[in-house]
Amino acid sequence: MPRNYDVLIIGSGAGGGMAAWVLARGGARCLMLDAGPAFDYDRQRVLKAVYDLPYRGFGRPGRFPHVTQASEFNANIWADEKQNPYTYDPGDPYYWVRIRAIGGKTLLWGRQSWRLSDYEFKCREHDGFGENWPIRYSDLAPYYDRVEPMFKVSGRKEGLPQLPDGIYVPDESRDSGCVQRFAAACAKRNIPVTKMRRATGTLASSANVLLPAALESGNLTLTPNAVVREITIDRNTGLANGALFLDRRSKREYHAKAGIVVVAASCIESTRLLLNSKSRQFPDGLGNSSGVLGHYLFDQFYVKSGVLAVVPEARGGKGGRGLMGGGGYVPRFRNLDRREKGFLRGYAYDFGSGFTPAAKYFPAYGEELQKQLDGAAGAGFSITTMGEVLPRRENFVRIDPDVKDEWGIPAANIRQKYSDNEHAMARDAMETGIALCRDAGFEVIASHTQMAPPGESIHELGTCRMGDNPKTSVLNAHNQSHDVKNLFVTDGSSFVSGGAQNPTLTILALSMRAGEYILEQKKKGLL
Amino acid sequence: MAALPALPAIPASAQYSGSQSSSSEIPKLQETAPDAAADGVPRCFSAVQMATLAKLADTIAPKLGERPGALEAGVPEFLDFLVGASGTERQTLYRNGLDRLNNEARTRFGKSFAALGPEETKPLLAPLTQAWTYGGPRDPYARFLSDARDDIIQATASSREYARVMSRRSRSAGGMNFYWLPLD
């Protein structure tokens, strides 16, 4: 007997998990497919000492050439690059970091939870570059208001227009002495500083915050190990009617049927799936009448520990909790009220303190090195820059017909290069960071402007962007395909611009909004 | 057509429960990892290269007080394994670097690097006293020394011997963490 669902949801991370949370609890019968397994935290994790690992924590050489976040402890979580290949121009490597498992990347996310503002949603209105989103901040604010309490986001309200406040578990902790000194140095230059805004609580993942409630509704069927190959369409209506998928282990093929399809497989995977879903009606990929699908790939560039300093008063183990420890966040402060510094948009800093700088930063070896390390123990202060990357058509995802994954599905070919704008921003970030540290009385021991390769921030965005104009965008203001009205994409691929803020909170809010729109439209009989 | 109700793959009565008593009756056997039970078989470096690496490791991370050094931590033997398991680029960097160290020692002092005194090693290791640059030095010899220094320090700190001694001082010295088992 054929099985039909109201909604097929592809992907179980932030976008898919939130779609399931809204739709299943709203009465829609949902099937969720995810390419990976469901982790059992009791049975798949064991406490081990690093010396008991086969490679003493170095990891098997060459296993993850593009996943700098992988350690020997968590190596089995990340998507295997041999099973899941992708290609790029060797001169412009792209670091595609993936988790294929129930919960997706929310299993290991950094939990930073920042709202976007109209500096992002209406970026073109502000500086003339790129496209505006088809929504304003006020459209998404009510959803942010609901997502933050679900994920118990802690933070401090600041009243900054470029970083709207949310509904927080108040963070009233006292800043350490070095953080206060850094904040004072920032204040002298009219640069704002705030507490981290982080999801708190155990795991804080789709796997424990969203999916259990969706399953409890009785309306969600959750199927792991389902590698989706293609979204299928009804030739008569042109509407999506399900998806073909393969069992990850047996490779047996199935057809999941549904009246509505929500794609949230993560930015590049979603676009790859749509591009691979070709038909007579959509020869260039599903929902791609505009030709925009796959284009405008961007992320946020990272300059990791771009400024590294030592707090002199903390040398020799004299730091202590009052002086050292903790960190904070400096939101974008460039190009807000006036054009400055010869680049568009801006960057944010994430800073931390109280660690011992790595040995590589000290020009010594042997006993002298140990002496220097002991002297700087717990006295480190570092700044990482996260910069806005301008969405450009020439940065794209397309299908590489010559390379297929283990399930015979054509792989993604990815092309992203940072432009002069991002490089100029990175230089300014380093120079300003050095000046701030020196103003705070810190000794700068290293600095650089070298950005991590594109993709490495795991904030890949765009390629299936929203917009009011069907000729220049793939999705409308409700994450709904302009071409196929029962097709929705609710992950980072729908972003039009991204600012410097970590994107997960916005993905959750967008997916919640899209899910409620689907329920509303269904109720009206329009879907 | 209505979807069939989803059934759990395993009947509830047979599903795993952390409180089940049957597994607790099976004793947990004490295990010893291979490198704590036996010596690794060298497979990457020649005897001369191993002697050079041992000297380099001891110079970079010597035993300091009770803090174990690279030799106590078995770092040369471990790096022979790690580099041997790595790609040719890393193997070439190490082999050429070790050969260069030894050749320089013979040219300057008429003896092997392994036989040099502390003052004699200094000019050969001068690149390690250069200021840090992002991505490390480009010169292959300086690059080798820089990479070897990082590897030697990390391998020392992640050794069983280091944890045994240093965990008396710091809880983090044992490097304990959750290890994710391979998935089906």
In the structure encoding, which two tokens stand for residue A321, read together? 């909790």
Least confident of A299-303, A367-371, A506-510, B38-42: B38-42
Mean pLDDT of A221-229: 98
pLDDT, averaged across chain A? 97
- pLDDT band for A308, please (50, 70, 90 cuts): very high
Q: Which residue of A has its CA nearest to B83?
A: A61
Distance (Å, rounded) from C-alpha A68 to C-alpha A211? 29
> Between chains, do A367 and B62 touch, taking CB under 8 Å as contact?
yes
Provide the pLDDT for residue B2. 46
Nearest CA in chain A to B65: A367
Using the beta-carbon criterion (under 8 Å), do A57 and B160 form an inter-chain contact?
Answer: no
- Provide the β-strand partners of residue A223: A33
Q: Are residues B149 and A365, on separate chains, in Cβ contact within 8 Å? A: yes
Q: Is the pLDDT of residue A345 over 80?
A: yes
The CA-atom distances, in angstroms, between A74 and each of A59, A70, A104, B182 are 10, 6, 14, 10
Q: Given this model, what pLDDT does residue B172 score?
A: 62
A1 contact residues in B (CB cutoff 8 A): 1, 4
* Distance to chain B for A293, nearest Cα, Å: 33
Among the partner residues B3, B128, B162, nearest to A5 by beta-carbon distance: B3
Q: Residue range A424-439: average pLDDT? A: 98
User: Angle CA(A404)–CA(A407)–CA(A408) in degrees, nearest 5?
Assistant: 40
Please report, rounded to a whole number, the percentage of residues in chain A having pLDDT higher than 90: 97
Q: State residue A41's pLDDT score.
A: 87
**How far, CA to CA in Å, does B28 sit from each of B17, B23, B182?**
18, 10, 21
pLDDT of amino acid A504: 98
- Count each helix (H run) and each strand (E run) in chain B, helices first: 7, 1
- How far A340 CA sits from the closest chain B CA (Å)? 28
Per the document, the length of chain A is 527
Banded model confidence at residue B1, pLDDT cuts 50, 70, 90: very low
Q: Say which DSSP state A330 is in.
A: E
From chain B, the residues in CB contact with A450 under 8 A are 134-135
Alpha carbon of B165: minimum distance to chain A alpha carbons (Å): 13
- Give residue B111's pLDDT band: very low, low, confident or very high (50, 70, 90): very high
Q: Which of A198-212, B12-26, B170-184 has the highest mean pLDDT?
A: A198-212
Mean pLDDT within A41-65: 93
Q: Which of B64, B86, B162 sits opposite A367 (nearest CB)?
A: B64
- Rounded to a whole number of angstroms, the distance from the CA of B163 to the nearest CA of chain A is 8
Task: Return the sign of the alpha-carbon dihedral for residues A182, A183, A188, A190.
Answer: positive
CB contact under 8 A, A446 and B132: yes
Give the span between the Cα atoms of A505 and A114, in whole angstroms: 6
Cβ(B56)–Cβ(B155) under 8 Å?
A: no
Name which of B3, B130, B183 is nearest A3 (Cβ-Cβ): B3
Dist CA A510 CA A465 (whole Å): 12
Alpha-carbon gap, residue A307 to A426, rounded angstroms = 11
| CA–CA distance, A74 with A500 (Å, rounded to integer) | 27
Which pLDDT band holds residue B22 (cuts at 50, 70, 90)?
A: low
Angle at A300 between CA A63 and CA A306, to 5 degrees: 80
The reported pLDDT for the residue numbered B169 is: 72
pTM assigned to the model: 0.94
Q: Which of B10, B120, B180 to mutate to test the interface with A (most CBs of A within 10 A)?
A: B180
pLDDT value at position B21? Answer: 52
How many C-beta atoms lie closer than 10 Å to residue B151's C-beta? 21
Per DSSP, the three-state class of A187 is helix
Pairing relationship of beta strands A153-155 and A169-170 according to DSSP bridges: parallel
**Tokens found for residue A286:** 């599903």
Chain A partners of B165 at a C-beta cutoff of 8 Å? Answer: none
Q: Considering only A188-192, A501-505, A522-526, B5-9, which range has the smallest mean pLDDT?
A: B5-9
Compute the count of residue pairs across chains A and B with CB atoms less than 8 Å apart: 138
- Indicate the residue of A52, A361, A367 with minimum beta-carbon distance to B132: A361
- Mutation site, A1, A52, A53, A374, interface B, largest B CB count within 10 A: A52
| C-alpha gyration radius of chain A | 23
**B155 and A56 in contact by Cβ < 8 A?**
yes
pLDDT tens per residue across span A320-342: 779 999 999 999 999 999 999 99
CA distance B175 to chain A (A): 5
pLDDT tens readout for residues B119-140: 999 999 999 999 999 989 999 9
- B184 → closest Cβ in A47, A249, A367: A249
Beta-bridge partner residues of A169: A154
- Name beta bridge partners: A295: A396
pLDDT in tens, A136-176: 999 999 999 999 999 999 999 999 999 999 999 999 999 99
Tell me the residues of chain A between 481 and 510 that have a Cβ less than 8 Å away from chain B: none
Report whether pLDDT(B3) > 50.
no
pLDDT band at residue A98, thresholds of 50, 70 and 90? very high
Minimum CA–CA partner of B155 in chain A: A56
Determine whether A189 is exposed, middle or buried from the number of CB atoms within 10 Å of its CB (0-12, 13-18, 19+): exposed
Interface touch B3/A359, C-beta < 8 Å: no
Task: Please tell me the distance from the alpha carbon of residue A165 to that of residue A183, in angstroms, as a whole number.
Answer: 19
**pLDDT tens track for A471-519:** 999 999 999 999 999 999 999 999 999 999 999 999 999 999 999 999 9
Contact status, residue A119 vs residue A476, Cβ threshold 8 Å: no
Note the pLDDT of residue B10.
52
Query: What are the sequence ranges of the domains in chain B?
Result: 41-168
Lowest mean pLDDT among A360-364, A407-411, B32-36, B59-63: B32-36
Which amino acid is present at A204?
A
The pLDDT confidence band at residue B4, using thresholds 50, 70 and 90, is: very low
Q: Does the beta-carbon distance from B150 to A360 stay under 8 Å?
A: yes
Q: Which DSSP letter does residue A207 get?
A: I
Average pLDDT over residues A387-414: 98
CB A107 within 8 A of CB A156: no
pLDDT at A210 over 90: yes
Q: Which domains are present in chain A? A: 4-39+77-523 (3.50.50.60)
Minimal CA separation from A222 to chain B, in Å = 9
Cβ contact, residue pair A53, B154, below 8 Å: no
Contacts of residue B30, Cβ cutoff 8 Å, sequence gap at least 6? none
Tell me if chain B has a CB within 8 Å of the CB of A62: yes
Q: Do A370 and B67 touch (CB under 8 A)?
A: yes
Q: Closest Cα of chain A to B180: distance in Å?
A: 5
| Confidence bin at B23 (pLDDT 50/70/90) | low
CB–CB contact B62 A366 (8 Å): yes
A48 Cβ under 8 Å from any chain B Cβ:
yes
Name the minimum distance, in Å, from the CA of B19 to any CA of chain A: 12
- A41 to chain B: nearest residue by CA? B180
User: First and final CA of chain B: distance in angstroms?
Assistant: 34
Alpha-carbon gap, residue A168 to A491, rounded angstroms: 24
Asked if the Cβ–Cβ distance from A369 to B60 is below 8 Å, we say yes
